[in-house]
Amino acid sequence: MIVNKAWIPLLALALVLFLIPSASATERLCDVSFEDCRAPLLKLIQNENQEIDTAFWFMDDTTISNALIAAKNRGVIVRMLVDPRADEGHPTNTSILNTLASDGFQMRQRVANGILHWKMMLFSGQGVVQFSGANYTASELKPFTPYVNYTDEAIYFSDDAIVVNSFRTKYDDWWTNTPLASFTDFANTSGITLTRAYPTYPIDPEMDFLPTNVAKNNYGTRSQAAINAETKQLDVDMFRITNADITDTTIKAFTQGNLPIRLIVDSSEYRNPARVWDSYNVDRLFMAGIPIKITKHQGQNHEKSLLLYGQAMTVFGSSNWTLPSFNIQQEHNYFPCAAQLAAYTSKGCFYVSPTKPWFFQWFQNQFERRWNSNAEYKAFIPLPPSPPTYKNPVNGATSTATTVTLTWEGGPWAQQYDIYFGTATNPLLISSNVITGQPEDPSGPLTPETFKVSGLAPGTTYYWKVVSKTMANLSATANSPSVWSFTTAGTAPGSGATVASITPTSGPSSGGTPVTITGTNFVSGSAVVSFGFAAASNVKFVTSTTITANTPPHVPAITGVTVVNGANTATLPTAFTFSPPMPPPSTAPKLNLVSPATGSPTGGDSVIITGSNLRPGLKVTFGGVPVTVNSSGQVSINATTPAGNLGLVDVVVTNTDGQTFTLKGGFTYANPPEPPTVTSVSPASGSLKGGTTVTISGTGFNKGAVVTFGGSMATTIVVINSTTILAATPAHPVGTADVVVTNIDPATGVIDSGSGGNTLSGGYTYTTAPPPTISAVSPNTGTASGGTQITITGTNFVFGAKVFLGGQQATVQTITGSYIYATTPAAPNGLGAADVMVVNPDGQSSTLSGGYTYQ
């Protein structure tokens, strides 16, 4: 095999430059917590001169809609995919859609099952696509107050040709109604022929467009495969978690795979009555021991991202961890991980070298800043449910049957129940952790919870109570559950039936064991079977001597088995043993995290410690030194740190029964961080239009540090370590500019520049860059179908430059100052000569007329 070795050093250079998208003002990520991410979107709308394609769940920002109207009025083609089902919760969206319709916009509405959950705009003339999980509303695109009042979002702007072209193809698919019956006319498309605006391009395998018929591309399937393949660390930032399967996968990776996992969730979604399964799953993740933080700042955590450290991959897009988001709704997600020749497999992300390590590094920076910002995020502490509301039998009822269905309303936040029942006024627990069905949505019809008891004695008073619990095993604390009573009717029945045996004679306390009961005189259609007082399920009459049933849930115990047979009853004492779970649930304490996890060696810092099975009277030590416990509950401890030596220390909790748990390295004693210093910027000059990638060297750089050039914030800032930052320069007038690095104070969440040399005066010079020139294209001919590898020779090429043949964008592989290696697109205008144009990121361009011929 012949290898063109000239490509090897160029490829190596490209991989270094790919750390962040050098000199590209559009291949970037924007953090809404402190950046105005609407501004670059508006600039793209204002600069477009060909076509804008957009699709969204809702738009209630008139600044954006007015910008689109202005673009249409100056002759730009604008196509829209919309979903009026969003109108119910967003009335301004209704008004904006009606305005756009009356202004003549061509608009198609999704009518297929599953909402339109895309949030994207494609700018054809500029070769840029913007997509994210953010709707087109000001609160999700810009902060009201940076670091204080904002919506957690990451906004992605890309001019990566394979990503842009993937959106072009999928947009055309939906626009032309492929698959059929997905969209219909909303405005101004009725009776016209719907045509594709672009050639059909291959879809980037790292893009995940839903819904799909390819099973492995189901977002849930693909994400779980990546989680199962991860061996180093997983960080998750997820708005909504209502799917149990991916929750199970995450718990298994943490508990069985020993994978370090951190999770950030949204406080409003945790107790959103329209999403009752979110609290169910978040509580389960908490009880597994996963460290979880929750929003403390004003505004939602609306981001959806997974960081897989062993794969250097961030999964990012519009899908939540919900079944509809996995493969029912129209979604777009991105799994950037592989080099050009590598493949994404069902077992995870495998690559020769990553194409976009900056993408992962940016999200890593974002997550670390959030996790360590005590002003913006706090330790997650599960909340208890409300007390149940009893329904039947009413308190004090008489003449009740000897088989009774206890009925109550558990409310939206109770997911399991403990049932107490018996003849004592303080009844005994007969069944624990009973799951009766889906928690109630208060906005919908209520379906009371039920538990059947049977085999009751006639003329006897029984007492009952129900304790509501969450999946974090927290019970209602507002009021102790009340005890109700009822009295059965009649006299003791005869013994017309007998119970001789039961097979098997034991089963788990969770119930569900199929059993066969033998005896005499069983009657079809009237038999009721109880174990103790708990009624069996799925009771079936087989013959007059045989009944089958499934055992009910019951606390571990030996119980009698009773058959109520019409007017007769029979009991086989001590017939069945309910065994405890194997292994039995641990009663030992467990710790999830300490927040904040860093404090002064002099001690005196207030911390929250979260965990489970925490008991009154517990003791805590940091590095063996006792902690002052201010208060504690079942899942959290409020404490004050003791003095300690610099460095990591173990956090140990000990319950009064002597059981302990150690959180290794759970707390760090550290002096206040030194203020940052800036020593150099390389390169030290670049275009006045910005977009130049620079390396900033110094000391004391923290994750989440902010960089400014002449007072304007840099973009796509990536803190590599405490001495190195990569960033893209903002636009600035010609001349010198001070370069300033400021850290975020994790205690207050505000910018803290300290008192060090965080400013490099005149550290960067803005210049007018020379334009590119093209001297040759080789080969200068190729097929009309495209795909020909070409080399463009010239001068002043800048990384991030775009190449166009006949106005159609080519795919660029590698760029140096004098060479561009690219792949030709399909002939845009048929056979014949096509102009070759190179456009640098600063907008300067060069055209070689007729430089390439399609033949």
- Of 637, 669, 701, the last residue of a domain is 669
Are the CB atoms for 798 and 771 separated by under 8 Å?
Answer: no
- Whether residue 224 sits in one domain with residue 360: yes
Q: Flag whether 466 is in a domain.
A: yes
Q: What is the pLDDT of residue 747?
A: 56
Residue 165 lies in a domain: yes
Sign, Cα dihedral of 189, 195, 198, 203: positive
Contact 241, 250 (CB under 8 A): no
pLDDT of residue 492: 58
Taking 70 as the threshold, does the pLDDT of residue 344 lie above it? no
The 10s digit of each residue's pLDDT in 476-519 is 865 667 999 999 997 655 557 899 999 999 999 999 999 999 99
Condensed to tens digits (0 to 9), the pLDDT of residues 74-98 reads 999 999 999 999 988 899 999 999 9
Residue 413 lies in a domain: yes
The predicted model gives 436-444 an average pLDDT of 69
**What pLDDT does residue 25 have?**
44
For residue 689, the one-letter residue type is K
Residues 686-699 pLDDT 10s: 888 888 889 999 99
Q: How far apart are CA 9 and CA 18, in angstroms?
A: 14
- 557-576: average pLDDT: 88
User: What is the secondary structure of 625-670 as a DSSP string?
Assistant: EEPEEEEE-SSEEEEEPPP--SEEEEEEEE-TTS-EEEEEEEEEE-
Low-confidence winner among 345-349, 406-410, 634-638 (lowest mean pLDDT): 345-349
Least-confidence region, from 8-17, 44-53, 411-420, 839-848: 8-17
Tell me the per-residue pLDDT of 267-304, one tens digit each, with 9 for 90 and over.
999 999 889 999 999 999 999 999 999 999 999 999 99
What is the rounded average pLDDT of the residues 591-619?
Answer: 97
Per-residue CA distances from 402 to 459, 462, 487, 515, 705 (Å) = 9, 10, 9, 22, 70
**Do 26 and 154 fall into the same domain?**
yes
The DSSP output letter for 309 is G
**Is residue 444 over pLDDT 90?**
no
Q: What is the CATH number of the domain that holds 233?
A: 3.30.870.10
% of the chain exceeding 70 in pLDDT:
91
In a domain, 555, yes or no: no
Q: What is the DSSP string of 435-449?
A: --SSPP-TTS----E
- 236 with 360, same domain: the answer is yes
Count up the domains in the chain and report the number. Answer: 6
Place of tokens 């339109």: 116
Average pLDDT, the chain: 90
pLDDT at 7: 31
Evaluate if residue 12 carries a pLDDT over 70: no
Q: Is 87 left (phi over 0), alpha (psi -120 to 50) or beta?
A: alpha
Shared domain check, 450 and 401: yes
Can you read off the two tokens belonging to residue 641?
A: 């740190």
794 and 817 in one domain? Answer: yes
Strand duo 606-612 + 590-595: pairing:
antiparallel
In this prediction, residue 749 has a pLDDT band, given cuts at 50, 70 and 90, of low
Q: Do 160 and 42 lie in a common domain?
A: yes
556 belongs to a structural domain: no
Chosen domain end from 168, 187, 206:
187
Question: What strands lie across the sheet with 428-434, from one edge to the other?
Answer: 397-400, 484-488, 461-469, 416-422, 428-434
Same-domain pairing of 721 and 682: yes
Most trustworthy range by pLDDT among 342-351, 475-484, 769-778: 769-778
DSSP at 311: G
Instruction: Express each pLDDT in 202-249 by its tens digit.
Output: 999 999 999 999 999 999 999 999 999 999 999 999 999 999 999 999
Q: CA 553 to CA 509: how far, in whole Å?
A: 6
Q: Where are the beta strands (DSSP E) in 124-258?
A: 128-132, 154-158, 183-187, 207-210, 234-238
C-alpha distance from residue 481 to each of 246, 384, 397, 423, 466 (Å): 34, 14, 19, 17, 7
Q: Is the pLDDT of residue 361 over 70?
A: yes
Residue 617 belongs to domain with CATH number: 2.60.40.10
Angle of helix 244-255 relative to helix 276-287, nearest 10 degrees, comes to 10
pLDDT value of residue 799: 77
On whether residue 574 sits in a domain, the answer given is no
Write out the DSSP string of 722-765: TTEEEEEPPP--SEEEEEEEEEE-TTT-SEE-TTS--EEEEEEE
pLDDT reported for residue 816: 76
Tell me, yes or no, whether 659 lies in a domain.
yes
**Based on the domain organization, do 692 and 825 belong to the same domain?**
no
Cis peptide before 730 (omega within 30 of 0): no
Quick check: 352 pLDDT over 50? no
Q: What proportion of the chain, given as a percentage, has pLDDT over 90?
A: 76
pLDDT category, 526, cuts 50, 70, 90?
low
In this structure, the answer to whether residues 636 and 728 fall within a common structural domain is: no
Whether 578 is covered by a domain: the verdict is no
Q: Is the pLDDT of residue 629 over 60?
A: yes
| CA nearest neighbour of 373 among 478, 301, 453 | 301
Q: Tell me which of 741, 767, 793 is where a domain ends.
A: 767
Mark whether 394 and 372 lie in a shared domain: no
What type of residue is 167? F
CA distance 160 to 802: 9
Neighbours of 210 (CB within 10 A): 24
DSSP string, 157-194: EE--HHHHHHHHHHHHHHHTTSSTTSEEEEES-TTS--
Supply the range of the domain harboring residue 113.
18-187
Q: Check whether 357 has a pLDDT greater than 90.
A: no
Q: Report which secondary-structure segment, H or E, holds 139.
A: helix 138-141
**Nearest residue to 635 via CA among 607, 613, 657, 655:** 613
Residue 777 and residue 762 share a domain: no
d(CA 427, CA 421): 5
pLDDT class of 360 with cuts at 50, 70, 90: very high
Cα(155)–Cα(38) distance, integer angstroms: 9
Same domain as 85, residue 53? yes
pLDDT of residue 675: 85
CA pair distance 634, 638, nearest whole angstrom? 12
